[in-house]
Amino acid sequence: MSLRTIVTLPDPVLRRKARAVTKFDKDLHTLIDDMVETMRDAPGVGLAAPQIGLAERLIVVEYYEHEMDEESEENEDMPKKVWAIINPEIVKASEEKVMGVEGCLSLPGLVGEVERHTEVLVKGLNRHGKPMKVKAKGWLARIFQHEIDHLNGILFPDLATRVWQPQQEVEQEQEV
């Protein structure tokens, strides 16, 4: 396994619609493993192939499988799960949406408020080309929507109601 370079704007691959993955071979397995290692090193909770310069429909996500209890200290002991989904698509989404703050490894130093569905059903293929589905809610649903947007050339500022640099906000508060 090796770390891949995360590309940032204005790299054009981030705005390109990614092509479907059709070969399920050793190279794909290596790519998936490299993406997981790169995501963890960044550190992040998700990574799409375009973020490492490849216009392919592949995402990796690492997060808690079940919704966390905001109050509980047990969250730290909860195991995280890793998903690698090839050719993912959202086949069902809740009508209910919620605003949340997002950042992106390809847009360092920026965050924004984005409205997302609270629940999604994602279908795709696993690393062996077998069909899989993931039912996600809460932050996990947000992560899947964010990463799948990358495969369509969509970045969070395109959907955000407000975008800012967190460092600027802290500096402004200190001035007051």
Question: For residue 7, is it within any domain?
Answer: no
Of the listed 65, 147, 171, 173, which one is catalytic? 147
Question: For residue 4, is it within any domain?
Answer: no
> What is the CB neighbour count within 10 angstroms for residue 81?
13
38's enclosing H/E stretch is helix 26-41
Question: For residue 2, is it within any domain?
Answer: no
Per-residue pLDDT tens digits for 110-165 = 999 999 999 999 999 999 999 999 999 999 999 999 999 999 999 999 999 999 99
Note whether 156 and 114 are within 8 A (CB). yes
Q: CA 134 to CA 94: how far, in whole Å?
A: 14
Q: CA 46 to CA 110: how far, in whole Å?
A: 16
Question: For residue 3, is it within any domain?
Answer: no
Question: Residue for token digits 């059903």?
Answer: 121
Tally of domains within the chain: 1
Q: Tally the residues of the chain.
A: 176
Residue with the bigger pLDDT between 170 and 80: it is: 80
Give the structural domain span for 60.
12-175
In this structure, what DSSP letter does residue 10 have? Answer: T
Instruction: Look up the pTM and report it.
Output: 0.90
> Rounded to whole angstroms, what are the CA distances from 106 to 113, 125, 173?
17, 25, 27
CATH number at residue 70: 3.90.45.10
Reply yes or no on whether 113 is catalytic: no
Question: For residue 137, is it within any domain?
Answer: yes
Question: For residue 19, is it within any domain?
Answer: yes
